[in-house]
Structure 1
């Protein structure tokens, strides 16, 4: 029996003798099944191939990014946040080997894991077992968990403080339980927001966007974006990191608000005429 992994999204499933018929994450309109068809692998097989390695990069004081090279699945970035003897892994990547485990242990290990949304659940249980860490997922996204585990804690409500100054904020949008991480003490006390792709930084790093589906170009309704904008006003941050290591280095809070306004004007037909 194996814990099969969807090669398109990188999400791992509970143990089974045969491969699942279809990936539930990819088989709905926010993601996609590859044009070449549904394919599966396992973590052991990926490690044995020797193709991949994780790169841990220092981003700023007490914050590291973790990327798999070459990219695997969706290719997102995970972040390791260090705060007062509390290390948090924000979002997950699929690839995990002994080298990565040793490198992270040298940085103090992982005390907790928190997820923005189901596309980045990846091999979260492997990470939780390797570091004996709880996984925090908003209860509104419970149905999307493909590998149940006693490590998973479903939290509820609009916010949840993991540690002083480290707060999960459910803002919805991309998924009902879509969550961002507010780190009040980061960025020299000016605050950092880590967003997955609940909020996505665009090419020029001056604006952000909000989507129901990025690969299928399905926008969010303007009302959802207005609600997200209102919730984000309550957070303390001047810098923003998204799921693909795009960073707004300053005035991020103002740029999110401006971007939300532009997005709503576009959907409401008042931004331009063509």
Structure 2
């Protein structure tokens, strides 16, 4: 019996004798099956290969980047937020080994794991059970969970306070349960958002974007983006980190509102004529 992992998205499945017939995460218009076909591995095989290393490094005070090299699956970055006696892992990466565990334990371990959306579920249950951490997933994305655990809490509504100054905010968009984390104490109490790619920082670091599917270039409706922008007005932040090491360090709230307007104007034919 093995907990097979899809090599394209990095998400782990329930224990089975045989490889799953297909990856439910990849066989959907927001993701894709590799042009080489569906392929599977296991965490044990990844460890035995000696290829991978998940590194934990300081991003800023009380915020640590958790990233696997070389990249695996989608290649996202997770983050560890050190709160006041309460550590939260934001999103997840697939590869975890004894070195990873030791590095995290030196920072005080993990009390909670919170996920932005299904593409980053990876080996979330391995992480939750290793660190005896509660795993928070919005109930609107419950159907995408590929490995169950009694560590999982399906939360509801638009916001959830994990600890003082650390809030989950469901803003939807990319997925119905699409969530970001509002770290009010971050950046000298000016506020930091960790967004996965529910909000994605673009090549020009003064702007962000919003998509239904990034690999397949499917945009969100203008009304959805307007709703997200309105929701963001209620949050406390001046800095944003996305899932791919892009950061807007200052005036991030203004960048989000400006970007939402540009996005909507483009969809409505008001930004340009071509």
TM-score under structure 1 length normalisation: 1.00
Q: Structure 2, unaligned stretches of length 5 or more?
A: none
In the other structure, the counterpart of 1:58 is 58
Question: What is the aligned length?
Answer: 274
In the other structure, the counterpart of 1:233 is 233
In the other structure, the counterpart of 1:84 is 84
1:106 aligned to 2:102? no
In the other structure, the counterpart of 1:158 is 158
1:225-264 alignment to 2 at 5 Å?
225-264=225-264
In the other structure, the counterpart of 1:220 is 220
In the other structure, the counterpart of 1:47 is 47
In the other structure, the counterpart of 2:201 is 201
Q: Structure 1 CA distance, aligned partners of 2:160 and 2:83?
A: 16
In the other structure, the counterpart of 1:34 is 34
In the other structure, the counterpart of 1:187 is 187
Q: Structure 2 CA distance, aligned partners of 1:115 and 1:121?
A: 7
In the other structure, the counterpart of 2:18 is 18
1:122-137 alignment to 2 at 5 Å?
122-137=122-137
Q: Structure 2 CA distance, aligned partners of 1:192 and 1:251?
A: 11
Runs of 4+ in 1 over 2 A off after TM superposition: none
In the other structure, the counterpart of 1:142 is 142
Deviation at 1:204, TM superposition (A): 1.8
2:240 aligned counterpart, secondary structure: strand
Deviation at 1:56, TM superposition (A): 1.2
TM-score under structure 2 length normalisation: 1.00
Q: Structure 2 CA distance, aligned partners of 1:268 and 1:56?
A: 43
Q: Structure 2 CA distance, aligned partners of 1:35 and 1:222?
A: 31
Deviation at 1:119, TM superposition (A): 0.2
Q: Structure 2 CA distance, aligned partners of 1:225 and 1:97?
A: 39
Q: Structure 2 CA distance, aligned partners of 1:100 and 1:19?
A: 26
Q: CA RMSD in A?
A: 0.4
Listed one character per residue, the Cα deviations across residues 96-129 of structure 1 (whole Å, up to 9, x for unaligned) are 0000000000010000000000000000000001
Listed one character per residue, the Cα deviations across residues 119-177 of structure 1 (whole Å, up to 9, x for unaligned) are 00000000001100010000000000000100000000010000111110000000000
In the other structure, the counterpart of 2:271 is 271
Deviation at 1:54, TM superposition (A): 1.0
1:14 aligned counterpart, secondary structure: strand
Q: Structure 1, unaligned stretches of length 5 or more?
A: none
